[in-house]
Structure 1
Amino acid sequence: MSRRLPDTNPRKLPRQERSKATVEAILIAATQVLIEEGYEGATTARVAERAGVSVGSLYQYFPNKEALVGTLVERHADEIVTIMHRALRDTAHRTLADGIRAVIRAGAEAHRIQPVLHKILYEQVPRVGRLGKAMDTHRKVTAEIEGFLRIHANELPADHDLATAAIVVETALEALVHKAVIDRHELLVEDLVEQETFRLITGYLFATCRGEVRL
């Protein structure tokens, strides 16, 4: 029999400015406690103490630690989508290569922000029931990449299926940057992961089915 997940939804949404400020303070405190104590060491009591509120006040909005983490997962996912959207919609990217460099840089920066927190949130996605949110984030970023590829389709070999290419690019980018931030910090030195990811993605994008490369 499978273990039932706890209720990880917020109890209520803040409507007044004072309530919004309280919830924001709680989420900031949760971020700090998770980074310092890790998931297992973090408790709602510690978060409430750091936020300067009573545990009862915290429970008005979040029924448990999982609900706090679930909210942080959703925020982090939304931030990644926003960052990638801005990078790909920047009109300064005159060529496909410019855009690829920008999206790789944006992806790296999004993962570099509080990497300890990123690792904790990534690991707790299944526990807090946010797999759907994670998958939706991947779909949204893939859609942004596909739209960008279509704008620059004239720069690509004609035999590329752009929808498939967008999936490949998003998967490669996420996997490599995540690996560097979480496990292989040496790849972050002198932007090595960005350089190698650019080489990998452009090598794929500009190659035809015959293996010819157009740069």
Structure 2
Amino acid sequence: MADKTPPRARKRPKQSRSLFTVNAIQQACLKILRDEGADKLTTQRIADVAGVNIASLYQYFPCKEAILSDVYDAALDDLAQLARQRFTEIQARANASLREGLAAIIDMECEQLLVLQELEPTFFKEYQHNFDAHQRIDQLTQSLNNPSWETWLDDWLCKHECTGNPKLRNLLLRQTLQGNLRIAVQQHPELLASNEFRDELLNLLMAYLQATPKPTNAS
């Protein structure tokens, strides 16, 4: 079954007054989520907090979910910038050892998901696949002529003497990491903040990378 696509804005503002209105709506949405909770989030409440007429809100957004989509897009941009700033730290830990590098990656992954999940848990659970931090990070890094996240991870893993087919090994490692994090978001989001969960996920990945392959039976 195809992933659900969230509602989006009716149109994008071009004039300064329109930009101000849309920004006020986005900031009002964030304020309500932060101060009152997702249960209080309605289009009328957003319009009231933003100080705009409800008709003006509907001129740009068909529903509150479309506003949330804009808020999530802005959050992804912020996470991409933060990942860029943290890359030196992650690279240093990655150079130290395989375990340190994976621990840094897991920490960043969990922290990114925590930011997105805590904004509006129900919305993010339903539309998680549409708000991919990796994709947004790749857009930023490649615009700066840097390698994609996937390319960097594969190149880094290939520098370590792990067992098995490197291409297949790296693919399975990425899928295992992303799969476990996706399930955590869907079923146990509180685990994202758990050091025990992160340690167990790290142990799982390390055990896979360092496993001794079974000898092939001679025919």
TM-score when normalising by structure 2: 0.67
Instruction: Give me the CA root mean square deviation.
Output: 3.9
Q: After TM superposition, give the deviation of residue 167 of structure 1 in Å.
A: 4.7
In the alignment, what sits opposite 1:33? 32
**Distance between the aligned counterparts of 2:187 and 2:84, measured in 1?**
23
In the alignment, what sits opposite 1:153? 158
**Distance between the aligned counterparts of 2:176 and 2:76, measured in 1?**
15
1:199 aligned residue (189, 203, 206): 203
Q: After TM superposition, give the deviation of residue 170 of structure 1 in Å.
A: 4.6
Whether 1:56 aligns to 2:61 is: no
In the alignment, what sits opposite 2:102? 100
Q: After TM superposition, give the deviation of residue 155 of structure 1 in Å.
A: 0.8
After superposition, the Cα gap between the structure-2 partners of 1:37 and 1:117, relative to the gap in structure 1 and judged at 3 Å, is same
After superposition, the Cα gap between the structure-2 partners of 1:187 and 1:55, relative to the gap in structure 1 and judged at 3 Å, is closer
1:44-193 aligned within 5 A: 44-77=43-76, 90-92=90-92, 93-94=94-95, 95-113=97-115, 115-125=117-127, 131=129, 133-134=130-131, 144-162=149-167, 165-173=170-178, 175-176=180-181, 179=184, 183=188, 185=190, 188-189=193-194, 191-193=195-197
**Distance between the aligned counterparts of 1:20 and 1:171, measured in 2?**
41
Q: After TM superposition, give the deviation of residue 197 of structure 1 in Å.
A: 1.5
Q: How many residues align?
A: 199
* Identity level (%): 25
Q: Report the more deviating stretch, 100-109 or 167-176.
A: 167-176
Partner secondary structure for residue 184 of structure 2: helix
**Distance between the aligned counterparts of 1:157 and 1:205, measured in 2?**
6
After superposition, the Cα gap between the structure-2 partners of 1:32 and 1:12, relative to the gap in structure 1 and judged at 3 Å, is same
**Distance between the aligned counterparts of 2:156 and 2:150, measured in 1?**
10
**Distance between the aligned counterparts of 2:38 and 2:9, measured in 1?**
21
**Distance between the aligned counterparts of 2:205 and 2:6, measured in 1?**
40
Unmatched 5+ stretches in structure 2: 139-147
Q: After TM superposition, give the deviation of residue 26 of structure 1 in Å.
A: 1.3
**Distance between the aligned counterparts of 2:71 and 2:203, measured in 1?**
33
**Distance between the aligned counterparts of 1:7 and 1:195, measured in 2?**
33
Q: After TM superposition, give the deviation of residue 106 of structure 1 in Å.
A: 0.7
**Distance between the aligned counterparts of 1:110 and 1:137, measured in 2?**
7
Q: After TM superposition, give the deviation of residue 77 of structure 1 in Å.
A: 4.9
